[in-house]
A and B are shown apart, each in its own frame.
Chain A
């Protein structure tokens, strides 16, 4: 199944690498990625589409555990009838860092 995550994070050294690495390590194959940092350069947001047999909740929880991730949400996922969009993005489980 394909689904898309929106991730908000503190823009610390290597934070995007951490998020992408965690997804790969947990068997979520990255299909597309768009990321940008805020004007003040303190924050970064990313929109990541992944494909996996693993449950979406697992991706959300694993990314939510990263110390510099401040928010992770599900914005859409593939269903039998095409894509299910969530506006505003749906937070399945908010995990507290550390």
Chain B
């Protein structure tokens, strides 16, 4: 495409974004990025004004997860830019494609401690996949194109463009030609390790598929399911892998790790072959690493060679295109006895929803919601106990419908993520599941929901505590509770109403089904405030430093 002569840098950026197929950008204006905001007027881009830059980055993150295309966020220099940082880190940790554009003070002022100047190029360096600081207006088309190429290629991630104000105001001296981005294709895996993997699978008697977020990134659900069905190997998933196989699939043993199912953790502990696919042996998954899958040989299939052998030695590494690899591995090992053991564990340790007491039981609420909501529902979680209950009890049919801050564990992700998801996939029902700690971290985004009339639903589980921290203080700090009491929370239903959002409060079990019916049937937004037991814990729990087979459970009263 051609950019005409005398086009201003800011206009050129907007045109280049349009050429990249961007339709939505999340942001907040300010001094140094004013040229870009001026150029947005009359463009095809839909700008979503959030109420804090962190929400712009987190909404762009969710947009990227749902669509697979880079989410775009804008902020001004200084505090605007630093406020993006948490969202950029969130995208980096969960390998989400993102392009963040920050305004910067004019080039002659850079390095002089100018008003709202901060070295965001330097600050963001450990977090981004790459970053650009354009010094010439003629570089801008190339920079935008490269930024999108890098964000989308290989293992996706965030890319930052720090745009000095004078460059945004400069005009091109002559017409510029540039091609929009084309992501580099993943290389084909080598033949030798693929053959080795086939042999290892055939020889195994107790294999397990350990599936992570790499399946969502590679959009390889179909290939994974075909591989699992062809081989008959049981599947366990990480938090980011949830939905890669259907929640109710026969061979799905559930999530593994710290709050994983007993069936999943026992399967991994007892397996003789662990096939890791798009997973990175995170500490929340492995527990005590030395005792993770202690008897297993390991095959690691991943798009990123740097993940192979990073934490766990592998016997066979396959890097490159996950889809190609999975399609090559359709063999039929003799594992009937093992599969029966795994499936029996799944029955023996199935979730129970008959919790004693009168409080609303959050896991039961989530399971009921899952039963009634259907496949066209996206759940955007915050971080904490409710996040683990969603992971455990909601049955997802695809990973793009489960938005959860895994690597970074960003409290405050839920509301912005719901906004990003709602704009990325307007036909889906979007429900933010949050806690009374998390929701306050980005509560201002209720204003964004109102501004754009988004039909976002919120389910707020309120235990008047920082529940996960409280649970750890109870279990591992001798019940010495430090700064976890939130009993002076605001009246959340009234807060929602103040932002123009209808609300209801659920305080006993009889009120659960009417609330779920409204969550399913109401067309507009709805805020459901659910009071739960302040003492409720997430079970099972692998204590820190322990092996995954040593799960703590609820005391039976």
Contacts and interface: CB of A to CB of B under 8 A. Distances in A.
A47 interface: no
A18 B135 CA distance: 19
A98 B187 CA distance: 12
A79 interface: no
Contacts of B135: 13
Contact of A58 (B129, B130, B153, B310): B310
Given A58-B310, A93-B305, A98-B154, A21 B126 contact: yes
Interface stretch (A1-9, A34-42, A59-67, A83-91): A59-67
Interface string A27-60: 0000000000000000000000000000101100
Nearest to A57: B309
Interface in B139-173: 149-150, 153-154
Contact of B129 (A13, A21, A64, A98): A98
A14 B305 contact: no
A62 to B, nearest CB: 6
B154 A96 contact: yes
B133 interface: yes
A18 B305 CA distance: 20
A25 interface: yes
B292 interface: no
Interface string B106-144: 000000000000000110011001100101000000000
A13 B122 contact: no
Contact of B306 (A13, A21, A62): A62
Given A58-B310, A95-B305, A67 B129 contact: yes
**B interface SS class:** loop
Nearest to A54: B310
What bracket does the count of chain B residues touching chain A fall in? 10 to 19
A57 B305 CA distance: 10
B150 A14 contact: no
B306 A65 contact: yes
Contacts, number: 43
Residue of A17, A58, A67 with most partner-chain B CB within 10 A = A67
Contact of A17 (B125, B129, B309): B125
Contact of A98 (B122, B184, B309, B310): B184
Contacts of A25: 126
A93 B307 CA distance: 13
Contacts of B306: 58, 61-62, 64-65, 95
Nearest to A25: B126
A3 to B, nearest CB: 17
Residue of A14, A96, A98 with most partner-chain B CB within 10 A = A98
Contacts of B130: 66-68, 98
A64 B184 CA distance: 16
A13 B143 CA distance: 13
A22 B306 CA distance: 13
A85 B350 CA distance: 58
Contacts of A95: 305-306
A55 B154 CA distance: 23
A14 B121 contact: yes
A88 to B, nearest CB: 22
B320 to A, nearest CB: 10
Nearest to B154: A98
B491 to A, nearest CB: 44
Interface string A69-98: 000000000000000000000000101101
B126 A98 contact: no
Contacts of B125: 14, 17-18, 21
A13 B309 CA distance: 32
A96 B149 contact: no
A98 B184 CA distance: 8
Given A14-B122, A17-B122, A98 B153 contact: yes
A55 B126 contact: no
A98 B133 contact: no
Nearest to A64: B306
18 contacts: A13-B121, A14-B122, A17-B122, A17-B125, A25-B126, A55-B309, A61-B306, A62-B306, A64-B306, A67-B130, A67-B150, A93-B305, A95-B305, A95-B306, A96-B184, A98-B129, A98-B149, A98-B153
Given A25-B126, A95-B306, 6 more contacts: A14-B121, A22-B126, A58-B306, A58-B310, A66-B130, A93-B305
3 tightest A-B CB contacts, nearest first: A61-B306, A67-B130, A98-B153
Interface of B: 121-122, 125-126, 129-130, 133, 135, 149-150, 153-154, 184, 187, 304-306, 309-310
